[in-house]
Amino acid sequence: MNNLLSEFLKAVTVGIAIYIVFLLIHLMGGNTIQFNSDLALDFAISMLYSVVLYMLNMQVFKFFFKKYKHHLYSFKHLVKAIPASVFITVIGVFFIRLFIITVLYGKTLQFFFSQEEVIDYSIPLVVALVCNAIFYFFFYYRYKKERQVKEQKIIAGTASAQFDALKNQLDPHFLFNSLNVLTSLIEENPLQAQKFTTSLSKVYRYVLEQKNKELISLSEELAFAKTYMTLLKMRYEDSIVFKLPEAVADPDAKVVPLALQLLLENAVKHNVVSGNHKLYISIEEEAGYLVVRNNLQPKKVMAKSSGVGLINIKQRYGLLTSREVLIQQTESEFIIKIPKLKHQLKSTVMNTEQYLSDKKYTMAKKHVEELKGFYINLSLYCIIIPGLALLNYYTTSFPWAIFPALGWGLGVFFHGMEVFGWNPFLGKDWEDRKIRELMKKDQDR
């Protein structure tokens, strides 16, 4: 009920605005206005047209919006909605004229049908279509801005949720595999199992401390890898030969936490490790990558793998950077290269210069496309409106061309406001500031 009243008040406002435009056209033609009963009747008829046509077209819009939602603004759906608006407008004008002539003026139906002409529908139809165009434009403008805010929230929220889920996946995975090693060790060497349990508690503390970070320094991760390999060597003793760099070549380099632990764990899990078949694992730095390689001696009978380790690393890197985790396999070696990262952004991590360059190019390209669309719109306006004005001049004395000129002109004006980032009430770049503000509030929550 409140929504219906709100739409009715909007219809009245639109009707008053349209009537004022008609009065101004009347005055510009050198005519005068007499405030009498005829003017009141003329105003009432004008409001009847405005309110009825507005409410009818509003129902058409709501029907199509409910059916297609935000897809309404695609071409294939607009070509259905616009003819529907034209049809309902013609029907509305017919019944309004029927009411005015038969009820207000007391004429017969025969008289009504004998006097009906196509020209009687042209002006109300043009006015209704212009108002519809403005109406659709404002709804589309609001929808577009709301979609931009929602898209940014969804992108940030989804990436954050995915990253948290992947990080939380590490806890049970690490503990499950460590307990498997401990179970084997208890049967073979109970004393070593006690030392393993003590070391495991220290390692697991590190896992809990670092898992909530998106990135960690390479030096810290290498130190942890050394500790973790010491833990594994309690189980396999001299069957594992481990080599890592003594010092980090790039002090600023970062990797995702526990990436090395997962890769080292996979190497031990998928290969034969024994005194006769030693497993050689090395970690080294290459240009932009940290390389983990091991000799290939796959187990003949493999327990079913969960696939958590390597998939987890690839997915976490996929959320943080466009650079991929590289996997190579030869006849004798299995090699994994994980990107070394430097600068951390909210949802993307990459080289600062490359990021800024890509960002500037994307923004410039988008702005050029928006400028091109605006200039095309303005050019069409400058070509078509004068043509309509000439057609109006040679066909009728009523200046109906002013309505598409005003309606389309208003659309061009707001299009320019959007492209050039100008708002007469809220200031330049208000929308961008508001989007950042809403995203920050959502992040704080």
Mean pLDDT value across residues 375-386: 82
pLDDT of 353 over the 60 cut:
no
**Range scoring the smallest mean pLDDT among 51-55, 65-69, 298-302, 306-310:** 306-310
- pLDDT tens column, 114-155: 888 877 787 777 777 777 776 677 677 667 766 666 656 545
Q: What is the DSSP letter of 341?
A: B
pLDDT over threshold 50, residue 350:
no
Secondary structure of residue 334 in the 3-state scheme: strand
Q: What integer is the mean pLDDT of 52-67?
A: 85
Do the Cβ atoms of 227 and 203 come closer than 8 Å? yes
At residue 246, the 3 state secondary structure works out as coil
Residue 146 vs residue 37, higher pLDDT: 37
Pairwise CA distance, residues 310 & 170, whole Å: 11
Sheet holding 289-295, edge to edge: 240-243, 279-286, 289-295, 333-339, 326-329
pLDDT of the residue at 203: 75
- Taking 50 as the threshold, does the pLDDT of residue 245 lie above it? yes
**DSSP per-residue string spanning 141-155:** HHHHHHHHHHHHHHH
- 45, 191, 239, 309 from 232: Cα distances, Å: 90, 15, 10, 17
Q: Is the pLDDT of residue 275 over 60?
A: yes
CA atoms 106, 109, 115, 116: torsion sign: positive
pLDDT tier at 233 (50, 70, 90 boundaries)?
confident
CA distance 339 to 362: 24
Tell me, what DSSP letter sits at residue 135? H
Report the alpha-carbon distance of residue 426 to residue 297 in Å, rounded. 68
Cα–Cα dist 241/229, whole Å: 9
Greater pLDDT, 259 or 418: 259
Give me the pLDDT at residue 315, please: 79
The Cα–Cα gap between 392 and 401 comes to 6
> Does the pLDDT at position 303 exceed 70?
no
Average pLDDT over residues 71-100: 84
Could you tell me the maximum CA-CA distance found in the chain, to the nearest angstrom?
Answer: 113
The string of pLDDT tens digits covering residues 91-122 is: 988 998 899 889 888 888 888 888 888 777 87
Give tens-digit pLDDT for 207-220: 777 766 778 889 98
pLDDT at 336: 94
Contact between 7 and 55 under an 8 Å Cβ cutoff? The reply is yes
Q: What global pTM score does this model have?
A: 0.42
- pLDDT tens digits, 310-337: 787 887 788 778 788 999 999 899 999 9
Q: What percent of the chain has pLDDT over 90?
A: 9
Q: Give yes or no for residue 436 having a pLDDT over 90.
A: no
CA distance 157 to 150: 10
Question: Which tops the pLDDT comparison, 6 or 395?
Answer: 6
CATH 3.30.565 for domain 169-349, yes or no, is: yes
CB burial class (10 A; 0-12, 13-18, 19+) of residue 78? middle
Residues in the chain, overall count: 445
Q: Which of 255, 267, 253 is nearest to 310 (CA)?
A: 267
**pLDDT, the chain, mean:** 77
- Radius of gyration of the chain measured on its C-alpha atoms: 36
Domain ranges of the chain: 1-162, 169-349, 351-445
Residue 148 in tokens = 């931009």
Q: Are 399 and 26 in contact (CB under 8 A)?
A: no
pLDDT at residue 58 tops 70: yes
- Token pair 């970062």 is found at 254
pLDDT tens digits, residue range 146-181? Answer: 666 665 654 555 455 455 554 555 456 566 767 777
